[in-house]
Chains A and B, each alone.
Chain A
Protein backbone atom coordinates (compact mmCIF):
# COMPACT_ATOMS: atom_id res chain seq x y z
CA UNK A 1 0.00 0.00 0.00
CA UNK A 2 1.46 3.35 -0.88
CA UNK A 3 0.93 6.99 -0.04
CA UNK A 4 0.54 7.82 -3.75
CA UNK A 5 -2.49 9.93 -4.50
CA UNK A 6 -4.58 10.77 -7.51
CA UNK A 7 -5.36 14.40 -8.50
CA UNK A 8 -8.87 13.83 -7.12
CA UNK A 9 -7.36 12.77 -3.82
CA UNK A 10 -5.22 15.90 -3.75
CA UNK A 11 -8.25 18.08 -4.43
CA UNK A 12 -10.18 16.28 -1.71
CA UNK A 13 -7.31 16.72 0.76
CA UNK A 14 -7.07 20.45 0.03
CA UNK A 15 -10.81 20.83 0.57
CA UNK A 16 -10.67 18.75 3.75
CA UNK A 17 -7.84 20.89 5.12
CA UNK A 18 -9.83 24.03 4.34
CA UNK A 19 -12.93 22.62 6.03
CA UNK A 20 -10.92 21.68 9.11
CA UNK A 21 -9.41 25.18 9.29
CA UNK A 22 -12.87 26.69 8.99
CA UNK A 23 -14.15 24.43 11.73
CA UNK A 24 -11.73 26.19 14.11
CA UNK A 25 -13.69 29.40 13.66
CA UNK A 26 -16.82 27.58 14.72
CA UNK A 27 -15.34 26.66 18.10
CA UNK A 28 -17.67 28.23 20.66
CA UNK A 29 -16.31 31.11 22.73
CA UNK A 30 -16.82 29.38 26.08
CA UNK A 31 -14.78 26.38 25.05
CA UNK A 32 -12.08 28.63 23.58
CA UNK A 33 -11.95 30.50 26.91
CA UNK A 34 -11.59 27.24 28.83
CA UNK A 35 -8.79 26.21 26.52
CA UNK A 36 -6.91 29.47 27.14
CA UNK A 37 -7.36 29.07 30.89
CA UNK A 38 -6.05 25.51 30.66
CA UNK A 39 -2.93 26.78 28.88
CA UNK A 40 -2.34 29.48 31.50
CA UNK A 41 -2.77 26.96 34.32
CA UNK A 42 -0.18 24.70 32.71
CA UNK A 43 2.35 27.50 32.30
CA UNK A 44 1.75 29.00 35.76
CA UNK A 45 2.03 25.69 37.54
CA UNK A 46 5.20 24.78 35.66
CA UNK A 47 6.78 28.19 36.37
CA UNK A 48 5.89 27.92 40.05
CA UNK A 49 7.27 24.44 40.19
CA UNK A 50 10.59 25.18 38.55
CA UNK A 51 12.43 27.04 41.35
CA UNK A 52 11.28 24.40 43.82
CA UNK A 53 12.49 21.74 41.47
CA UNK A 54 15.93 23.32 41.32
CA UNK A 55 16.13 23.80 45.09
CA UNK A 56 14.92 20.27 45.61
CA UNK A 57 17.73 19.05 43.34
CA UNK A 58 20.34 21.05 45.29
CA UNK A 59 18.88 19.81 48.60
CA UNK A 60 18.93 16.18 47.49
CA UNK A 61 22.52 16.51 46.25
CA UNK A 62 23.57 18.12 49.56
CA UNK A 63 21.86 15.42 51.61
CA UNK A 64 23.56 12.78 49.48
CA UNK A 65 26.97 14.39 49.99
CA UNK A 66 26.45 14.71 53.74
CA UNK A 67 25.37 11.09 53.93
CA UNK A 68 28.51 9.94 52.11
CA UNK A 69 30.75 12.06 54.39
CA UNK A 70 28.94 10.81 57.49
CA UNK A 71 29.22 7.17 56.46
CA UNK A 72 32.91 7.58 55.63
CA UNK A 73 33.57 9.11 59.06
CA UNK A 74 31.52 6.43 60.70
CA UNK A 75 33.66 3.78 59.02
CA UNK A 76 36.85 5.50 60.22
CA UNK A 77 35.53 5.64 63.75
CA UNK A 78 34.63 1.95 63.60
CA UNK A 79 38.06 1.02 62.23
CA UNK A 80 39.96 3.08 64.76
CA UNK A 81 37.58 2.50 67.61
CA UNK A 82 38.72 -1.09 68.16
CA UNK A 83 42.48 -0.31 68.68
CA UNK A 84 41.56 2.58 70.97
CA UNK A 85 39.54 0.23 73.14
CA UNK A 86 42.41 -2.25 73.15
CA UNK A 87 44.80 0.50 74.24
CA UNK A 88 42.52 1.40 77.12
CA UNK A 89 42.34 -2.25 78.15
CA UNK A 90 46.12 -2.53 78.05
CA UNK A 91 46.54 0.59 80.11
CA UNK A 92 44.06 -0.39 82.76
CA UNK A 93 44.80 -4.10 83.27
CA UNK A 94 47.10 -4.92 86.27
CA UNK A 95 49.27 -7.23 84.13
CA UNK A 96 50.20 -4.34 81.94
CA UNK A 97 51.35 -2.29 84.92
CA UNK A 98 53.81 -5.11 85.64
CA UNK A 99 54.83 -5.04 82.01
CA UNK A 100 55.60 -1.33 82.21
CA UNK A 101 57.64 -1.88 85.43
CA UNK A 102 59.89 -4.33 83.61
CA UNK A 103 60.45 -2.12 80.59
CA UNK A 104 64.17 -1.69 81.44
CA UNK A 105 64.60 -5.44 81.53
CA UNK A 106 62.98 -5.83 78.12
CA UNK A 107 65.19 -3.06 76.70
CA UNK A 108 68.26 -4.88 77.96
CA UNK A 109 66.95 -8.14 76.53
CA UNK A 110 66.42 -6.57 73.14
CA UNK A 111 69.90 -5.05 73.03
CA UNK A 112 71.74 -8.18 74.22
CA UNK A 113 73.01 -10.60 71.56
CA UNK A 114 70.57 -13.39 70.75
CA UNK A 115 73.25 -16.07 70.48
CA UNK A 116 74.55 -17.33 73.68
Chain B
Protein backbone atom coordinates (compact mmCIF):
# COMPACT_ATOMS: atom_id res chain seq x y z
CA UNK B 1 0.00 0.00 0.00
CA UNK B 2 1.42 3.41 -0.96
CA UNK B 3 1.62 6.20 1.58
CA UNK B 4 -1.19 8.04 -0.20
CA UNK B 5 -3.47 4.97 -0.21
CA UNK B 6 -2.64 4.32 3.39
CA UNK B 7 -3.49 7.90 4.30
CA UNK B 8 -6.81 7.61 2.50
CA UNK B 9 -7.60 4.31 4.22
CA UNK B 10 -6.75 5.82 7.61
CA UNK B 11 -8.87 8.87 6.83
CA UNK B 12 -11.84 6.66 5.97
CA UNK B 13 -11.35 4.55 9.09
CA UNK B 14 -11.04 7.55 11.41
CA UNK B 15 -14.06 9.21 9.81
CA UNK B 16 -16.17 6.16 10.65
CA UNK B 17 -15.10 5.96 14.30
CA UNK B 18 -14.47 9.56 15.29
CA UNK B 19 -17.99 10.59 16.28
CA UNK B 20 -18.63 7.52 18.39
CA UNK B 21 -15.21 7.97 19.96
CA UNK B 22 -16.03 11.59 20.73
CA UNK B 23 -19.33 10.58 22.35
CA UNK B 24 -17.55 8.03 24.51
CA UNK B 25 -14.99 10.60 25.58
CA UNK B 26 -17.73 13.17 26.21
CA UNK B 27 -19.62 10.75 28.44
CA UNK B 28 -16.42 9.95 30.35
CA UNK B 29 -15.18 13.52 30.76
CA UNK B 30 -18.36 15.59 30.61
CA UNK B 31 -16.37 18.18 28.68
CA UNK B 32 -16.27 18.75 24.90
CA UNK B 33 -12.76 20.21 24.74
CA UNK B 34 -11.24 17.47 26.89
CA UNK B 35 -13.09 14.85 24.85
CA UNK B 36 -11.84 16.30 21.57
CA UNK B 37 -8.25 16.36 22.86
CA UNK B 38 -8.48 12.72 23.95
CA UNK B 39 -9.86 11.60 20.58
CA UNK B 40 -7.25 13.56 18.63
CA UNK B 41 -4.53 12.15 20.85
CA UNK B 42 -5.76 8.62 20.21
CA UNK B 43 -5.85 9.31 16.45
CA UNK B 44 -2.26 10.58 16.56
CA UNK B 45 -1.04 7.52 18.37
CA UNK B 46 -2.83 5.16 16.00
CA UNK B 47 -1.47 6.90 12.90
CA UNK B 48 2.06 7.24 14.27
CA UNK B 49 2.47 3.73 15.60
CA UNK B 50 0.01 1.44 13.87
CA UNK B 51 -0.57 2.90 10.39
CA UNK B 52 1.35 0.00 8.86
CA UNK B 53 -0.89 -2.60 10.49
CA UNK B 54 -3.68 -4.32 8.63
CA UNK B 55 -6.86 -2.20 8.47
CA UNK B 56 -8.84 -4.84 10.35
CA UNK B 57 -6.62 -4.26 13.40
CA UNK B 58 -7.18 -0.51 13.54
CA UNK B 59 -10.57 -0.73 15.29
CA UNK B 60 -9.46 -2.71 18.36
CA UNK B 61 -6.17 -0.79 18.51
CA UNK B 62 -7.90 2.58 18.33
CA UNK B 63 -10.32 1.67 21.11
CA UNK B 64 -7.48 0.31 23.20
CA UNK B 65 -5.61 3.63 22.84
CA UNK B 66 -8.72 5.75 23.43
CA UNK B 67 -9.77 3.85 26.56
CA UNK B 68 -6.23 4.09 27.85
CA UNK B 69 -6.24 7.87 27.26
CA UNK B 70 -9.60 8.16 29.03
CA UNK B 71 -8.29 6.21 32.02
CA UNK B 72 -5.20 8.42 32.19
CA UNK B 73 -7.37 11.55 32.02
CA UNK B 74 -9.59 10.15 34.77
CA UNK B 75 -6.62 9.45 37.04
CA UNK B 76 -5.10 12.89 36.42
CA UNK B 77 -8.41 14.59 37.13
CA UNK B 78 -8.87 12.62 40.32
CA UNK B 79 -5.42 13.59 41.58
CA UNK B 80 -5.98 17.24 40.60
CA UNK B 81 -9.33 17.29 42.36
CA UNK B 82 -7.74 15.81 45.46
CA UNK B 83 -5.16 18.60 45.50
CA UNK B 84 -7.86 21.20 44.87
CA UNK B 85 -9.87 19.87 47.78
CA UNK B 86 -6.73 19.98 49.90
CA UNK B 87 -6.23 23.64 49.04
CA UNK B 88 -9.93 24.42 49.34
CA UNK B 89 -10.54 25.13 45.63
CA UNK B 90 -13.66 23.90 43.83
CA UNK B 91 -13.47 20.58 41.99
CA UNK B 92 -13.16 20.51 38.18
CA UNK B 93 -16.45 18.74 37.72
CA UNK B 94 -18.16 21.18 40.08
CA UNK B 95 -17.06 24.20 38.14
CA UNK B 96 -16.85 23.15 34.47
CA UNK B 97 -19.14 20.26 33.72
CA UNK B 98 -22.84 20.76 33.53
CA UNK B 99 -25.14 18.88 35.87
CA UNK B 100 -26.18 15.74 33.98
CA UNK B 101 -29.66 15.95 35.43
CA UNK B 102 -30.10 19.33 33.78
CA UNK B 103 -29.61 17.74 30.37
CA UNK B 104 -32.71 15.62 30.88
CA UNK B 105 -35.61 17.39 29.22
CA UNK B 106 -38.86 18.18 30.96
CA UNK B 107 -41.06 15.07 30.74
CA UNK B 108 -44.14 17.27 30.22
CA UNK B 109 -42.72 19.02 27.16
CA UNK B 110 -44.96 17.34 24.56
CA UNK B 111 -45.64 14.19 22.58
CA UNK B 112 -43.33 14.97 19.67
CA UNK B 113 -41.29 11.92 18.59
CA UNK B 114 -38.11 13.86 18.06
CA UNK B 115 -38.37 15.36 21.49
CA UNK B 116 -38.97 11.92 22.98
CA UNK B 117 -35.83 10.60 21.30
CA UNK B 118 -33.78 13.52 22.54
CA UNK B 119 -35.10 13.01 26.02
CA UNK B 120 -34.23 9.30 25.91
CA UNK B 121 -30.70 10.09 24.73
CA UNK B 122 -30.22 12.72 27.40
CA UNK B 123 -31.49 10.40 30.12
CA UNK B 124 -29.15 7.62 29.01
CA UNK B 125 -26.29 10.08 28.78
CA UNK B 126 -26.93 11.31 32.31
CA UNK B 127 -27.24 7.76 33.64
CA UNK B 128 -24.02 6.67 31.92
CA UNK B 129 -22.15 9.59 33.49
CA UNK B 130 -23.07 8.45 36.96
CA UNK B 131 -21.46 5.03 36.40
CA UNK B 132 -17.92 4.30 37.57
CA UNK B 133 -15.50 4.65 34.65
CA UNK B 134 -14.85 0.91 34.27
CA UNK B 135 -18.57 0.10 34.10
CA UNK B 136 -19.07 2.92 31.63
CA UNK B 137 -16.27 1.63 29.39
CA UNK B 138 -17.47 -1.97 29.57
CA UNK B 139 -21.02 -0.93 28.72
CA UNK B 140 -20.10 1.29 25.77
CA UNK B 141 -17.65 -1.16 24.25
CA UNK B 142 -19.91 -4.20 24.68
CA UNK B 143 -23.31 -2.68 23.99
CA UNK B 144 -22.46 0.03 21.49
CA UNK B 145 -19.29 -1.09 19.75
CA UNK B 146 -20.48 -4.70 19.99
CA UNK B 147 -17.04 -5.91 20.96
CA UNK B 148 -16.84 -9.38 22.41
CA UNK B 149 -15.59 -10.01 25.94
CA UNK B 150 -12.01 -10.73 24.85
CA UNK B 151 -11.77 -7.59 22.69
CA UNK B 152 -13.26 -5.49 25.48
CA UNK B 153 -10.81 -6.94 27.98
CA UNK B 154 -7.93 -6.07 25.64
CA UNK B 155 -9.22 -2.51 25.17
CA UNK B 156 -9.76 -2.03 28.91
CA UNK B 157 -6.52 -3.83 29.83
CA UNK B 158 -8.25 -6.07 32.35
CA UNK B 159 -9.38 -9.69 32.62
CA UNK B 160 -12.39 -11.09 30.82
CA UNK B 161 -13.95 -11.82 34.20
CA UNK B 162 -13.67 -8.15 35.15
CA UNK B 163 -15.34 -7.14 31.88
CA UNK B 164 -18.27 -9.44 32.62
CA UNK B 165 -18.61 -8.07 36.13
CA UNK B 166 -18.41 -4.43 35.05
CA UNK B 167 -20.85 -4.97 32.21
CA UNK B 168 -23.34 -6.84 34.38
CA UNK B 169 -23.24 -4.12 37.03
CA UNK B 170 -23.54 -1.38 34.42
CA UNK B 171 -26.66 -2.93 32.87
CA UNK B 172 -28.22 -3.39 36.32
CA UNK B 173 -27.42 0.18 37.38
CA UNK B 174 -28.64 1.73 34.13
CA UNK B 175 -31.89 -0.21 34.07
CA UNK B 176 -32.52 0.75 37.67
CA UNK B 177 -31.79 4.42 37.05
CA UNK B 178 -33.71 4.74 33.81
CA UNK B 179 -36.72 2.80 35.02
CA UNK B 180 -39.15 0.55 33.21
CA UNK B 181 -40.68 3.30 31.10
CA UNK B 182 -37.46 4.28 29.39
CA UNK B 183 -37.04 5.12 26.51
Contact = CB atoms under 8 A, between A and B. Distances in A.
Interface stretch (A37-45, A63-71, A82-90): A37-45
Interface in A1-52: 1-3, 5, 8-9, 12-13, 15-20, 22-24, 26-27, 31-32, 34-36, 38-39, 41-43, 45-47, 49-50
How big is the A interface, by class? 20 to 34
A39 B143 contact: no
A9 B7 contact: no
A27 B125 CA distance: 13
A23 B23 contact: yes
B43 A27 contact: no
B124 A16 contact: yes
Contacts of B140: 20
Interface of B: 3, 7, 10-11, 14-15, 18-20, 22-23, 32, 36, 39-40, 43-44, 47-48, 51, 117-118, 120-121, 124-125, 140, 143-144, 149, 161, 163-165, 167-168, 171, 174-175, 182-183
21 contacts: A3-B163, A12-B171, A15-B120, A15-B182, A16-B174, A19-B121, A19-B183, A20-B140, A22-B117, A22-B121, A24-B20, A26-B118, A27-B22, A35-B22, A38-B39, A42-B40, A42-B44, A42-B47, A46-B51, A47-B3, A50-B3
